[in-house]
């Protein structure tokens, strides 16, 4: 779980991985010490498969961006979007910057550990394994950055508490709907109640 909390020490051992989604073939650079360094993880692939990228001039957040697959893909598919990619792992942020540059979207993709913006959409494969208390604190911090008509799209494993997270969000003043289920994952959409 250390990749959720600190930037790893030691060699990066960078490598390229390939993925296919949104009718495109993609290539990204990853490295040791970040989430899912060897492939596009199943949860994120389901989120991408079950969600349509937004169009038009929107402000988007990739919360827990890892090596930047969601952030970069959103920026590439929508040339009017501005995307913010947030993570606590500096190695992940460096990889996101690199991948944004390689895909030609670095001018519309802000990589950071914090943001003062509001967002039309938040996309996330949240760090469930940080524990319920830390996850709830993370969501209490970032969900209020949604604009009044904004939506957060998250993917969570059923066996990692997707249904209890959905219930908690609904009890916490949000409207959380399950919009898809596949291979043990739930895709949730969260809006202001």
Residue 11: inside a domain, yes or no?
Answer: yes
Return the biggest CA–CA distance within the chain: 46
140-165 in b/e form (b: 16+ CB < 10 A) is eebbebbeeebbbbbbbbeebbbeeb
Residues 145-156 have a mean pLDDT of: 97
Q: What is the band of 129 on the pLDDT scale with cuts at 50, 70, 90?
A: confident
Burial of 42 from C-beta contacts in 10 A (0-12 / 13-18 / 19+) = middle
Give tens-digit pLDDT for 88-111.
999 999 999 999 999 999 999 999
5 pLDDT higher than 80:
no
Nearest one of 87, 110, 99, 107 to 31, comparing CA atoms: 99
Q: What is the band of 159 on the pLDDT scale with cuts at 50, 70, 90?
A: confident
Higher pLDDT, 154 or 161: 154
CATH number (domain holding residue 89): 3.40.50.150
Residue 18 token pair: 């390939």
pLDDT attached to residue 8: 72
> For residue 29, what are the domain limits?
2-153
Q: How many domains does the chain have?
A: 1
Distance of CA 107 to the CA centre of its chain: 19
Residues 107-120 have a mean pLDDT of: 92
Q: What is the CA radius of gyration of the chain?
A: 15
pLDDT attached to residue 130: 85
pLDDT attached to residue 4: 52
């Amino acid at each position: 779980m250390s990749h959720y909390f600190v930037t790893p020490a030691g060699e990066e051992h960078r490598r390229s991985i390939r993925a296919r989604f949104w009718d495109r073939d993609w290539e990204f650079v990853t490295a040791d010490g970040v989430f899912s360094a060897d492939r596009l993880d199943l949860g994120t692939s389901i989120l991408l498969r079950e969600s349509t990228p937004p169009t038009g001039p929107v402000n988007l957040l990739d919360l827990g961006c890892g090596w930047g697959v969601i952030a970069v893909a959103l920026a590439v598919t929508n040339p009017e979007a501005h995307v913010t990619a947030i993570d606590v792992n500096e190695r992940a942020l460096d990889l996101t910057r690199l991948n944004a540059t390689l895909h030609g979207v670095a001018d519309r993709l802000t990589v950071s550990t914090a943001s003062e913006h509001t967002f039309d959409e938040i996309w996330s494969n949240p760090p469930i394994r940080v524990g319920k208390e830390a996850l709830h604190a993370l969501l209490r911090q970032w969900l209020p950055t949604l604009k009044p008509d904004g939506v957060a799209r998250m993917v969570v494993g059923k066996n990692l508490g997707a249904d209890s997270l959905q219930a908690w969000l609904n009890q916490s003043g949000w409207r959380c709907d399950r919009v898809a289920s596949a291979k043990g994952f739930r895709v949730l959409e969260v809006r202001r109640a």
